[in-house]
A and B are shown apart, each in its own frame.
Chain A
């Protein structure tokens, strides 16, 4: 399954001109508000018409302005999870879930409703009205409804933006399951670096209507010159394995042979996990730090020093665990004489899984 998107469209203030591909897994369209992300997904869904472009889903041409092809939105087989749930108020939860299923006809499998209700944990809600659901419940029903229309691809436009932190924590794992178990490719729009770190297989970074970088998530997030939402929100992502659980409540991870400690019980021993180290949570020290409270210190070597907006620079370190980004002031950078090849230590204040 692939989706090729090439869209250009004149928008108020700038021109949207993007060209990217979506393969299996979750592709995150990552960029700040106003970068044109929603215009891209609306174009893919057929809800808005680009001035020019070509969209091909799994070999099916959905749009080709040169050849005058424009498939109607209801024939595109593209599920859309909107920022707000958009449930039909006059139908029960069951009615909402079945809505897309009946148009899917033969492509839908009869057992799907039970399986998806089970995965999303919405079985007890089936006979309720949307007005009687909480925000998190509505989001889950909206996701289920899109899945049950048996789409070739799911578009998700910041589906967590309107939810509080607890609800986000409840919905995020569902997208992970979607990626890992259900095999439906997802084009996910987000301006949150945490969501990208957690979900993305591939990242397409968007800024002012243009794709500034695209590639595997770890590569893009570790690249100090790609900071679509600003250097403060930058942060590298490492892959690690859960090594042990300690009696004092810490979990030990093994990242490329280096031990890292995170609070809490994080997954089974042996499980692979991703962890994100925000650039502003990393201090640099030229000498091995002694007698400090931070648990995680990664030895490394400066790979690049990149000028960032504001008073800071982004330093990329190569460590045995993988690349780590650090956001330090320009003054500190010159005081330490940070330059390519210099050995130093990254002192990590917080690691998020």
Chain B
């Protein structure tokens, strides 16, 4: 890559890796959470809803600090996880965890909306035709919400690409390990003569964000068409 310098490219590649992992790992959980919020009535549903949306409202630095407290090597989860060889603090996996959590509300919202657009009477019809619950989900619900799931994933990916506050608080800004696109831009702006590198990364961010938004928009149009069966 000639247009981007090696340091810049490293940051873009790391961001892509972090966001991809953040999206792929959180997607099944996002679908489950969205389904629970859309379809199940259980005590604590509002609390779950609040928890899911919390990262959207809290200052990112607070989320990052809470992650550090929980998943730091001394933390209540970080300690035991370290024993079995899983470390998040100051690693790229930690950046993925932070990005995944920050992107989670967006993902769940998009999927939940598409689940709410599915007529539950279709699912009831499927059970009378002999399909058990999990089968109904796989053969009726999931195909109908697939465009919404993809849209949620694209949005989450774009959000993860741009994550800054929680990432820098939780895993710092280590070149090659946790220096993502956003933290790299920040770092370049701190050094004299770094603005041209920063600008190039800004262009990359804008292109990825716009591309993701347009893809998400196009996919959500398809949900409506699919649910109407034309």
Contact = CB atoms under 8 A, between A and B. Distances in A.
Contacts of A77: 130
Interface in A73-116: 73-80, 82, 84, 86-90, 99-100, 103-104
Interface residues of B, number: 23
15 contacts: A45-B128, A72-B132, A73-B127, A74-B132, A75-B130, A76-B128, A84-B121, A86-B121, A86-B124, A88-B229, A89-B228, A90-B140, A99-B139, A129-B229, A131-B229
Contacts of B81: none
A149 B125 contact: no
A1 interface: no
B41 interface: no
B128 A74 contact: yes
Contacts of B229: 87-90, 129-131
A276 B139 CA distance: 45
A78 B125 CA distance: 11
Contacts of A78: 128
Contacts, number: 76
Interface string B193-230: 00000000000000000000000000000000011111
B47 interface: no
Interface residues of A, number: 30
Interface string A128-163: 011110000000000001100100000000000000
A157 B62 CA distance: 56
A129 B225 CA distance: 12
Interface in B122-161: 122, 124-133, 135, 139-140, 143-144
For the residues of B in contact with A, the DSSP-based class is helix
A103 B230 contact: no
Interface of B: 119, 121-122, 124-133, 135, 139-140, 143-144, 226-230
A89 B141 CA distance: 11
A132 B132 contact: no
A129 B139 CA distance: 16
Interface in A39-96: 45-47, 72-80, 82, 84, 86-90
Contacts of A47: 124, 127-128
Contacts of A103: 129-131, 135
